[in-house]
A and B are shown apart, each in its own frame.
Chain A
Amino acid sequence: MRTSKNISPILEIRDLKKSFGDKDVLNGFNLKLFEGENLVVMGKSGSGKSVMVKCLVGLIQADSGIIRIKEQDIEVLGRAELDLLRTHIGFLFQGSALYDSMTVRENLEFPLRRHKKQLKMEEDTESLVLEALKNVGLEHTLDSMPSELSGGMQRRVALARALILKPEIILYDEPTTGLDPITSKEIIQLMRNIQETYNTSSLIITHDVDCARVISNRMILLVDGINYAEGSFEELAKSQDPKVQAFFKT
């Protein structure tokens, strides 16, 4: 893992600002994610974590600021270039966001059918789907519909779908929200296994302290739309700042 400041980051946000009407959500947020790193961004509900991560992949247009992924400024990319860049990013949505009219197999095949040739993936679709499902321990659900799966299983299938194109960066938006403690631990363990197996760089948006403790190499606390504090879990947990302490006391 490389986290040194002199290596160029795989993902960088500089002075990101976004407001909705009168409400300023992000007020100059900065972030650098290095190769192989697990970076956790923690913040209260409504602090702008999800807005930030959606700006990153171009789902929301930022008001100002620079977003660079793999040394490409996403603001200047055309549709085709942005779509190609997105194939290098896996995204796990808070609510799983599985296509509910498709089976698990079709959900996983969907990105493959479009980008397999473009990404020069030589393995056949079936084996790639099975490999992704095996990674999350759900090979037996291949022909099930998402509605037939539990919340935890849906999250794992969504994780398999995020991994199917073997992305270099994975963005996790509240990966453990809405899950029971045991399933949460399973998801966190899966995230660690994935990072070890594929050496992905992960940006994890969460307010789950347990998740942050287990998975993070580095953390950023997002308060009032800015980076309020930054450091390892242990460093932040020891902080005497009441705003920082508020995260760890809960």
Chain B
Amino acid sequence: MTGSSNRIGAFFEEAGELVLFTGRFFAEVFKPPFEFKELLRQCYQMGNRSFLLVGVTGFILGLVFTLQSRPTLMQFGAESWMPSMVSISIVREIGPVIIALICAGKIGSGIGAELGSMRVTEQIDAMEVSGTNPFKYLVVTRIVATTLMIPLLVILGDSIALLGSAIIENLKGEVSFLLYFNQVFDALKFSDLIPATIKTFFFGFAIGLVGCYKGYNCSKGTVGVGEASNEAVVYTSMLLFVIDFIAVFVADIYYG
């Protein structure tokens, strides 16, 4: 009982600290000086280094999803619905969530480990005593970069997933690429695209925020760096599903 109440207490304490960290982010993000050069470097690093992973994941996602759905749709004689079903599923839900989870593993853990290692080797302190605000230079730039780059990576992943699906349809169902993508664009509406894109900004924010929070507050030496990296992924993954639920719920009220 005491163990459980301690864990609950620790959870709320951590949640409170994360809220304060978020507050500090918003207090610093609009205050000059702005670290544009570092922001661009982070955007490039995150986009460039995740490009291949997101592309391959998206492509396989499209292939597998189409292959798995095909027999069921054939049973009902509904193969012609394949482009609509795949595009709506991928754009609205599967694409954003899977790509964000992949990015939480790659980018979030990377941020946690990098900042954690900088914390334990006193590099963050060195930055502070040199008269540079490390929160602004390291944290604000990374959170803004993930908030901007995750939506782009999701759009890229969705597009490649649809390409993968089109290839399977072309090979198995003899559907031309032109016909496939015509059906995709017919099926997709703004009410599918807009909420799905808006939620990816929140996904990106969550990935950057939790990674930075865990890394920036890292302690306990090299063990702490491992923990920061690991917890960044676990906490972000949970948070992504919570955000997804809220986003779907709100979109349902608005568009439903």
Contacts and interface: CB of A to CB of B under 8 A. Distances in A.
Interface of A: 54, 57-59, 79, 83-84, 86-87, 89, 91, 93-95, 97-101, 110-111, 114-115, 161, 165
B131 A97 contact: no
Given A91-B126, A93-B126, A99-B126, A111 B132 contact: yes
Contact of A87 (B123, B125, B131, B133): B131
Interface residues of B, number: 15
B122 interface: yes
Contacts of A110: 127, 130, 132
Contact residues of B: prevailing secondary structure: helix
Nearest to A101: B114
Nearest to A94: B122
B237 to A, nearest CB: 26
Contacts of A111: 130-132
A98 B118 CA distance: 9
A114 B132 contact: yes
Interface of B: 114, 117-118, 121-123, 125-133
A79 B133 contact: yes
Nearest to A119: B131
Contacts of A84: 131
The 9 closest A-B pairs by CB, nearest first: A97-B126, A83-B131, A97-B122, A111-B130, A86-B131, A91-B129, A87-B131, A57-B129, A93-B122
Contacts of B125: 54, 59, 93, 97
Contacts of B121: 95, 97, 100
A92 B128 CA distance: 13
23 contacts: A54-B125, A57-B128, A59-B128, A86-B131, A91-B126, A91-B129, A93-B122, A93-B126, A95-B121, A97-B121, A97-B122, A97-B125, A97-B126, A98-B123, A98-B126, A99-B123, A99-B126, A99-B127, A100-B117, A100-B121, A100-B123, A110-B132, A111-B131
A89 B117 CA distance: 25
Contacts of A79: 133
Contacts of A86: 128-131
A59 to B, nearest CB: 5
Contacts of B129: 57, 59, 86, 89, 91
A79 B123 CA distance: 19
A89 B125 CA distance: 14
